[in-house]
Amino acid sequence: MKKLTAIIFGLLLAVNPAAAQQPLPGFADLAEKWLPSVVNISTRNLTPAEETDLNSLENVNPGWSDYFKKPGDQQTSLGSGFIIDENGFIVTNNHVIENASEINVTLADNRQFPAEVAGKDLKTDIALLKINAGGKLPPVKFGDADKIRVGDWILAIGNPFGLGGSVTAGIVSAKSRDIASGPYDNFIQTDASINQGSSGGPMFNLDGEVIGINTAIFSTNGGSMGIGFAIPVNLVGYVIEQLKTAGSVERGWIGVRIQPASAEIRQSLGLNTPGGVIVSEVEENSPAGKAGVEVGDLILNFDNQEIDDTKNLSRIVAETAPGKKTFLTIWRNKSSKRLSLTVERLKDTPALPPPVSEKSAAPERDDTSLPGTGLTLAPINAETADRFKLSENMTGVVVLRVEAGSEAETKGLKAGDVISKIDNKEIFDLNGIKEGFREAALDGNRPVLLQINDDGVFHFAAIKAETNDKN
């Protein structure tokens, strides 16, 4: 029997030799080395704090929440942080210390010190604290978050529920997660057990390098459900350095409004390769405007970096130093063009677009339907201008109705939108938009590019109409 057991065991190893060669990693040495670099943070607020979430994510989905609040305590908040400088600089999340009148930092050896805010950045939810510990402190090492892969082991250290020095392990579940928290969403997702109070703590790779800052969880009950999110250090490295040296963050700005360039949009513009974002608005006297960027251009490259989505471009521009002279490559009239520009500083309070309002329409007699699109359109006249609160001198045609389940609805069009251009040509009446669709039908029945004016906010949609009118 013993001989048979040995044979079976040997067969199992032979079938799956990798299982015998790749044991689970040990985390004891890693934890022992870096626990002294992780701190606990407690605050008292100016006013009794209510349970809040990261950038009001709870209003989007009740499962999204931050986790630095101590349950049942409206006066005291708990969070985590880590030492980045032997002189006492500490990184945490801004929401951990937001509105705090008093901040205290507890080290791994239980020494406690008052902390001052050296700087904070709301856009990336990062805050930099400073303590005077009367001696040198053990800083962490930063790694390269871009090198991690889905499935890699990570270690999280924090202060969950006030239990300082807690270590949990897991894997990288996903990269580049967008959880609708802000313009720089690019989170690392992990299944490591993370709970309330861990916010602001470090995420380590197996080389003992910090690759992320634990920031948010998805939870239906306030506890860990194996879905946690960390800000990659590559995203906030420049933020931390600016906070350390200047106390605030200075970002680049070029003055364009952009949107994703779908395959249909790229096809309508004669581009069959992936990547790029489409310009929906160019601010007057902006760097982009001065450089010659136009509405309807596709931005393919900025500062020698390929652009594949809107967040990619937003991050690259933001990290570009104001005053730097650089280049961008655009796609226009079925060819690429290189433009030079000088990046300017992003204003502290950039103007926000007007709120988008839902409008409804009554049946319209002077209208036309575009087969296959789900759109019913009408000219802009005194009646439609009054109904939709439009300026009578506005050019284009107005959307009266959008058929449920139609292509137009899937592309976000709604009653009250004004179609101002088709394939980057201004339209002034219903004949103009009909002609645009007819030309597209003659050109291989390709999608047409519509410029939409939604309460003063411009964006694009590519739509293909079903038509047999090719004469």
* Active-site annotation, residues: 95, 125, 199
**Beta strands, E only, 298-417:** 298-302, 305-306, 325-332, 335-342, 344-345, 368-370, 375-379, 397-402
**289 touches 313 (CB < 8 A):** no
**Rounded CA gap, 26 and 211, in Å?**
19
**128 touches 91 (CB < 8 A):** yes
Consecutive H or E run containing 114: strand 112-114
**Rounded CA gap, 443 and 470, in Å?**
9
Query: What are the φ/ψ torsions at residue 162 (nearest 5 degrees)?
Result: 80, 5
Between strands 141-142 and 209-218, the pairing is parallel
DSSP summary character for residue 146: G
**In the chain, how long is the greatest CA-to-CA distance?**
96
For every residue of 369-423, which 3-state class applies, written as one string? EECCCCEEEEECCHHHHHHHCCCCCCCCEEEEEECCCCHHHHCCCCCCCEEEEEC
Residue showing tokens 């005194």: 382
CA distances from 215 to 203, 258, 456 (A): 10, 27, 35
**Rounded CA gap, 439 and 296, in Å?**
18
Q: Three-state DSSP class for 105?
A: strand
CA dihedral 16, 18, 21, 26 (to 10 degrees): -110
Comparing CA positions, the residue from 121, 276, 138 lying closest to residue 183 is 121
How many beta carbons lie within 10 A of that of residue 186, not counting itself? 17
